Chain A
Amino acid sequence: MKNRRSISSLLAVAATYCFLFSLIPWVAARGVERTRALLVHEGIPRDDAGAAAAFEAIIPVLHHPRCMNCHSKGDFPRQGDDSHRHTMQIRRGPDGKGVNAVRCSTCHQDHNLAGLHMPPGAPDWHLPSPAMPMIWEGLTDHQLCELFKDPHGNGHRTPAQIVEHMHTPLVLWGWTPGDGRTPVPTSQHYFLAKIQEWAEKGAACPVDVDAPTSETFGFPVIPITSYKPTFGPE
């Protein structure tokens, strides 16, 4: 009788250990997921409203002629603060660097040339390629944000790589565009901080003002666009 009880106890202990051992892979997987999540967001928990607000904060930069002149509709760049079509029939070309004999580098150097109406320049001066034209013109804030995140439309970049891209000389040129061109008015520091915040908080997108409401679906839909940051450009 005593032996039978001890055998039962042993079996119970063994079953418990088996159960606990079987949990190890599951616990480990959860740990990896959690660690990955922390690494991706660098310790900042996902915050959709915060990310969307951060993206909205950079919209004025993205809509500025310094950015939009190369991200507009059509197969050509624009120029000037009035975003008129680039003179000389300049075209996007097969690689975004112009057509044969009218390449961007025909006139544009890797730096601005001094003087009014002189060609501006920065390293790797070009338009987006026709395969991935990254046209921002006419997009709502939500659509623009989604385009930023779409690997098939953003140059196969992750949000972290988008942040990296925003630090390239061609993008930063918008703040030092040379004589006769209005620089992007938002401070560069603020812009870079906000795009980083957007990525770190999970790269959520703002909801368009005319997007579906609670009435449409019958359950609460909180428009993130109603969230306005309490801070602003310096």
Chain B
Amino acid sequence: MREITLTVNGKHHTLALDPETPLLFVLNDELGLCGPRFGCGMAQCGACTVIMRGQVVRSCVMPVSAVGQDEVTTLEGLGTPEKPHPIQQAFIEEGAAQCGFCLSGVILTAKAVLDVKPDASDQAIRDALGGVLCRCFTHTRMLRAIRKYAEARRA
């Protein structure tokens, strides 16, 4: 066990942890965040996605010791139920979730793409979402919500 300090969604946490613990387990079990979810546990489905250094990472395969000083942003870090982030609002308005299990992956990936390139093409967004699985077949609504968010932030 080692004392590790993490910055998650703007808050600092110092925890005694096995450095090899997957970041996802720390987020879920130690910090009580349930945005990132355990899907496959092998970086194949994207349900555990978080943002670090402006890039999406799969927290299920990242040892907590690899986080270092970088801030981690989970789905909860974007907005609140009272004041959702515009991309979350777009998903609500488009009804772009069935079970919602994959939303960390879909929303954070789309946001990461558009943060870097606000005029990213639909194809670029589709490519980026290639590593995120949705088992409910709500892709059409998701893409519509993402496009709505992209257009709103460009306006």
> What is A's interface to B at a CB cutoff of 8 Å?
87-91, 99-103, 105-107, 109-110, 113, 115, 117-119
Please tell me if the beta carbons of A102 and B58 are within 8 angstroms of each other in the complex.
no
**Docked-complex contact B62 and A109, CB < 8 angstroms:** yes
Q: Are the C-beta atoms of A101 and B57 separated by less than 8 Å?
A: no
Which chain B positions have C-beta within 8 A of A101? Answer: 55-56, 109-110, 112-113, 116, 128
Point out the residues of chain B lying under 8 angstroms from A117, CB to CB. Answer: 42, 44
A110 to chain B: closest residue by CB: B66
Closest to B120 in A: A100
- Of residues 89 through 132 on chain B, the ones whose CB sits less than 8 Å from some CB of chain A are 109-110, 112-113, 116-117, 120, 124, 126-128, 130-131
Residues of A within 8 A of B58 (CB): 106-107
Residues of chain B within 8 A (CB-CB) of A100 are 112-113, 116-117, 120, 124, 128
Which one of A89, A106, A107 lies within 8 Å of B127 (CB-CB)?
A89
Return chain B residues, CB-CB under 8 Å to A102: 56, 109, 127-128, 130-131
A100 to B125, CA, bound (A): 9
Report, nearest first, the 4 A-B pairs whose CB atoms are least far apart: A89-B130, A88-B131, A107-B43, A101-B128
- The answer for the CA separation of A70 and B124 in the assembled complex, in Å, is 22
Report chain A residues within 8 Å CB of B110.
Answer: 101
Q: Report if B17 contacts A (CB, 8 A).
A: no
Residues of chain A lying within 8 A (CB to CB) of residue B77 = none
B55–A105 CB distance below 8 A: yes
A109 x B127 contact (CB < 8 A):
no
Q: Does B61 belong to the interface (CB within 8 Å)?
A: yes
Main SS of chain A's interface residues?
loop
CA of A199 to CA of B58, assembled, Å: 41
Do A107 and B131 touch (CB < 8 A)?
yes
Check if B113 sits within 8 Å of A113, measured CB to CB.
Answer: no
- Whether B63 sits at the interface, judged by CB under 8 Å, is yes
Interface contact A109-B66, CB-CB below 8 Å: yes
In angstroms, Cα B124 to Cα A91, docked, is 11
Q: How far is the CA of A105 from the CA of B110 in the complex (A)?
A: 17
- Which A residues are in CB contact (< 8 Å) with B120? 100
Q: Which residues of B contact A119 (CB under 8 A)?
A: 42-43, 61
9 residue pairs of the A-B complex, CB under 8 angstroms, read A99-B128, A100-B120, A101-B55, A102-B127, A107-B58, A110-B66, A115-B42, A117-B44, A119-B43
Closest to A118 in B: B42
From residue B59, how far is it (CB to closest CB) to chain A in Å?
11
> B130 — which chain A residues lie within 8 A by C-beta?
88-90, 102
Q: Which residue in chain A gives the minimum CB-CB distance to B58?
A: A107
- Beyond A101-B113, A102-B127, A106-B57: 9 further Cβ-contacts under 8 Å? A88-B131, A90-B130, A90-B131, A100-B117, A100-B120, A100-B124, A102-B109, A102-B128, A117-B42
Complex interface: chain B residues within 8 A of A88 (CB): 44, 130-131
Interface-centre pick from A87, A101, A105, A118 (highest chain B CB count, 10 A)? A101
> Shortest Cβ distance from A109 into chain B, in angstroms?
6
CA–CA, A89 to B133, complex, Å?
A: 12
* B residues in contact with A91, CB < 8 Å: 127
User: With A and B bound together, what is the CA distance between A52 and B137 in angstroms?
Assistant: 56
Q: How far is the CA of A66 from the CA of B86 in the complex (A)?
A: 44
Instruction: Write the nearest CB–CB distance from A33 to chain B, whole angstroms.
Output: 50
Question: Given A101-B128, A119-B42, A109 and B116 touching (CB < 8 A)?
Answer: no
**Interface residue from B63, B117, B126, B131 paired with A106 (Cβ < 8 Å):** B131
Residues on B with C-beta less than 8 A from A110 are: 66
